């Protein structure tokens, strides 16, 4: 117990002694955990809202409908079918085994909505003014239907920009919007729900009389029935047994056989809009975890080099190697666990901002639930990152000779003979840069990996963008456009976060390099290198790995998209070249300041400090 207390005290004091580094570490890991949490939370984002909507609206377990098919002549003359809808098939369903309750059949009419100068397709349901026992839409605004008053499905109302009190037209006839509501019977606009027909139309509820008044002969185009089963889990089997061609396939033309849709299918359709977002965020989250690993490794490596004397002191006063390793590990694990908690909270709170497509669901107002598995996974990943990045330097520090540690002997740099020979033929900044880089190969690998991961993410995002553009089959399709909009909303979030974390890494690495190379930089200046040459050398030590990382990131990104997106899309050459050039320029710009500071430290002070 006393040992644990000692470790805790030493770790917390050291963190307090270096608050800036602790905060930077916290930010780096928090960025990664936030995005990872967002990805995991969005993965099941529609489950919670859909189920709460289903509960609030007495959502049906099965929706069934039947339509009146036009004859060939009616279709050719673009006239509505003269034959009335046969409701016998639907009525038979109300008595089917397992059905415990129902509402409807309600008349269904296809109409053109005019609002705010725009027109859109709507499927109008004629409902009773009294509440239904199954599928009674939950009002989020206004009141329920009355003669002359329409209620709009919430996502449809948002899409066409109407609310309670607005005036609209349906097939040219004026109505007032009296309410906005959500329902679990069909997926929110603009998701295509397929029953007897597939329609990308929004749902509008009117009174039965008003609905029928929209057609020339006051005759419905179809009927819709909501069923409640004794066993809701059996809904897919119930629907499949009665759908001759399966859910969504519809009945043959002219058939009076109804088409059925289980609530589980509606839930899946509702998730369709955020599925791409969740995939992007989850993949991006993992990329960010890798970048955070690089950040932590660089920071820890830099701090360990800085802490050599402290390690020596700990050991000199009786600290065993295991206590030393435990103190160093404890510092980073504590920071990582705080970052996990902050990231989980931030991801959970940010998720509703990205799930607006579920506007048609009641649960949208609240944040989606954090599951135990999400919390566990994010915490475990963060803990793993801290331990993986810390364990090697911690053990190395613990094993360092006490005498050498007390003397603060710097870790000997690596020698790469061929690189030294090659650099002798290059201009002075490149000579210095290559030699500085070659001193710490592990740091260069981290820098290269960090850039390669970021560029992979950017290239995958470009590929995804292209792929999505190709997928928008119908530019006038609200679903395709909404999906593209949502995707384009989340893609920059992940790309910017990736770039930001990579930028932080680049600065960390340059700073660590400048600190590590302070002696050789000062010596080079004493021997005649100008501050500009030394600064350019320190920058070159980062830019060269950035160039290699950017080049490696291109196939990495294409492979990443092929793995996640299930298709091979290669962005155009000019985009790839621009990414490489941009990466190198940004790396040069980001490293310029720490390199400039590193190249201008007092030569005399640094060389004298080596004697202290």
The binding site for other proteins (CB under 8 A) comprises: 412-416, 420, 424-425, 428, 431, 435, 438-439, 519-520, 523-533, 600, 602-604, 607-608, 610-611
- Residues 192 and 68 sit within 8 Å (Cβ to Cβ): no
The whole-angstrom separation of Cα 510 and Cα 443 is: 10
Alpha-carbon dihedral sign for residues 230, 231, 235, 239: negative
Compare residues 227 and 438 and give the one whose CB is closer to other proteins. 438
Q: How far is the CB of 523 from other proteins (least distance, A)?
A: 5
Q: How far is the CB of 415 from other proteins (least distance, A)?
A: 4
Compare residues 372 and 611 and give the one whose CB is closer to other proteins. 611
Q: How far is the CB of 311 from other proteins (least distance, A)?
A: 21
Q: How far is the CB of 404 from other proteins (least distance, A)?
A: 13
Q: How far is the CB of 436 from other proteins (least distance, A)?
A: 10
Compare residues 88 and 424 and give the one whose CB is closer to other proteins. 424
Compare residues 413 and 582 and give the one whose CB is closer to other proteins. 413
Q: How far is the CB of 534 from other proteins (least distance, A)?
A: 9
Q: DSSP secondary structure string, 20-83?
A: HHHHHHHHHHHHHHHHHHHHHHHHTTTHHHHHHHHHHTT--SEEEEEE-PPPHHHHHTT---SS
The whole-angstrom separation of Cα 241 and Cα 228 is: 16
The whole-angstrom separation of Cα 596 and Cα 515 is: 12
Compare residues 73 and 425 and give the one whose CB is closer to other proteins. 425
What is the three-class DSSP state of 369? Answer: coil
Compare residues 424 and 585 and give the one whose CB is closer to other proteins. 424
- Residues 188 and 361 sit within 8 Å (Cβ to Cβ): yes
Compare residues 151 and 603 and give the one whose CB is closer to other proteins. 603
Instruction: Say whether the peptide bond before residue 88 is cis (omega within 30 degrees of 0).
Output: no
- Residues 456 and 556 sit within 8 Å (Cβ to Cβ): yes
Q: Closest Cα to residue 189, out of 479, 472, 475, 477? A: 479
Instruction: Say whether the peptide bond before residue 190 is cis (omega within 30 degrees of 0).
Output: yes
Q: How far is the CB of 528 from other proteins (least distance, A)?
A: 3
Q: Given phi > 0 = left and psi -120 to 50 = alpha, else beta, which region is 494? A: alpha
Q: Closest Cα to residue 108, out of 224, 248, 227? A: 224
Compare residues 57 and 308 and give the one whose CB is closer to other proteins. 308
Q: Closest Cα to residue 32, out of 386, 372, 459? A: 386
Q: How far is the CB of 285 from other proteins (least distance, A)?
A: 39
Burial 23-38 (b: 16+ CB within 10 A, else e): ebbbbbbbbbbbbbbb
Compare residues 194 and 607 and give the one whose CB is closer to other proteins. 607
Compare residues 271 and 603 and give the one whose CB is closer to other proteins. 603
Q: H-helix or E-strand containing 542?
A: helix 531-565
Q: H-helix or E-strand containing 318?
A: none
Q: What phi and psi values does residue 182 have, to the nearest 5 degrees?
A: -115, 155
Burial class (CB in 10 A: 0-12, 13-18, 19+), 80: middle
Q: How far is the CB of 526 from other proteins (least distance, A)?
A: 5
How many other C-beta atoms lie within 10 A of the C-beta of residue 254?
12
Compare residues 208 and 601 and give the one whose CB is closer to other proteins. 601
Q: How far is the CB of 530 from other proteins (least distance, A)?
A: 4
Contacts of 455 (CB under 8 A, 6+ apart): 549, 550, 552, 553, 554, 556, 557, 579, 580, 583
Q: How far is the CB of 411 from other proteins (least distance, A)?
A: 10
Q: How far is the CB of 610 from other proteins (least distance, A)?
A: 5
Compare residues 377 and 606 and give the one whose CB is closer to other proteins. 606
């Amino acid at each position: 117990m006393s040992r644990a207390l000692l470790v805790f005290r030493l770790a917390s004091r050291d963190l307090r002694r270096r608050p800036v580094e602790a905060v930077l570490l916290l930010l780096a890991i928090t960025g990664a955990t936030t995005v990872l949490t967002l990805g995991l939370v969005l993965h099941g984002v529609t489950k919670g809202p859909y189920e709460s909507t289903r509960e609030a609206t007495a959502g049906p377990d099965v929706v069934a409908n039947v339509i009146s098919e036009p004859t060939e002549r009616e279709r050719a003359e673009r006239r509505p079918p003269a034959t009335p809808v046969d409701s016998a098939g639907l009525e038979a369903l109300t008595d089917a085994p397992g059905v415990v309750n129902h509402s409807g059949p309600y008349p269904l009419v296809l109409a053109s909505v005019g609002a705010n100068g725009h027109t859109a397709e709507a499927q109008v349901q004629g409902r009773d003014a009294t509440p239904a026992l199954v599928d009674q839409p939950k009002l989020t605004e206004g009141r329920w239907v009355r003669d002359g008053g329409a209620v709009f499905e919430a996502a449809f109302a948002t899409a066409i920009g109407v609310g309670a009190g607005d005036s609209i037209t349906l097939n040219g006839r004026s109505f007032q919007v009296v309410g906005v509501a959500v329902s679990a019977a069909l997926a929110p606009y603009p998701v295509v729900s397929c029953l007897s027909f597939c329609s990308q139309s929004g749902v509008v509820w009117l009174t039965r009389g008003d609905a029928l008044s929209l057609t020339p002969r006051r005759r419905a185009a179809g009927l819709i029935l909501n069923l409640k089963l004794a066993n809701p889990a059996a809904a897919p089997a119930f629907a499949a047994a009665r759908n001759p061609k399966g859910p969504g396939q519809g009945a043959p033309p002219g058939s009076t056989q109804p088409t059925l849709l289980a609530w589980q299918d509606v839930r899946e359709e509702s998730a369709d809009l955020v599925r791409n977002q969740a995939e992007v965020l989850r993949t991006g989250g993992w990329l960010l975890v890798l970048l955070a690993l690089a950040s932590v490794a660089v920071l820890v490596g830099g701090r360990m080099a800085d802490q050599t004397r402290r390690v020596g002191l700990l050991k000199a006063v009786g600290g065993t190697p295991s206590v030393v390793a435990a103190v160093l590990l404890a510092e980073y694990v504590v920071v990582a666990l705080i970052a996990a908690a902050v990231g989980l909270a931030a991801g959970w709170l940010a998720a509703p901002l990205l799930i607006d497509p579920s506007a048609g669901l009641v649960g949208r107002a609240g944040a989606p639930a954090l599951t135990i598995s999400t919390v566990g996974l994010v915490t475990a990943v963060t803990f793993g990152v801290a331990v993986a990045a810390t364990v090697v330097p911690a053990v190395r520090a613990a094993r360092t000779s006490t005498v050498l540690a007390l003397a603060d002997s710097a870790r000997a740099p690596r020698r790469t003979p061929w690189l030294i020979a090659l650099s002798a033929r290059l201009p002075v900044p490149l000579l210095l840069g290559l030699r500085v880089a070659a001193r710490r190969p592990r740091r260069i690998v981290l820098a290269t990996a960090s850039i390669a991961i970021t560029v992979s993410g950017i290239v995958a995002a470009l590929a995804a963008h292209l792929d999505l553009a190709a997928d928008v089959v119908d530019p006038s399709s609200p679903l395709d456009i909404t999906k593209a909009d949502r995707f384009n909303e989340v893609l920059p979030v992940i790309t910017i976060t990736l770039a930001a974390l990579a930028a932080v890494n680049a600065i960390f690495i340059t700073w660590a390099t400048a600190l590590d190379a302070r002696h050789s930089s000062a010596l080079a200046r004493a021997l005649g290198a100008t501050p500009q040459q030394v600064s350019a050398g320190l920058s070159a030590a980062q830019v060269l790995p950035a160039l290699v990382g950017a080049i490696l990131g291109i196939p990495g990104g294409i492979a990443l998209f092929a793995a996640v997106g299930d298709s091979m899309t290669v962005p155009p050459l000019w985009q790839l070249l621009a990414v490489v050039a941009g990466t190198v320029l940004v790396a040069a710009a980001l490293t310029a300041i720490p390199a400039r500071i590193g190249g201008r430290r007092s030569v005399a002070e640094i060389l004298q400090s080596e004697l202290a």
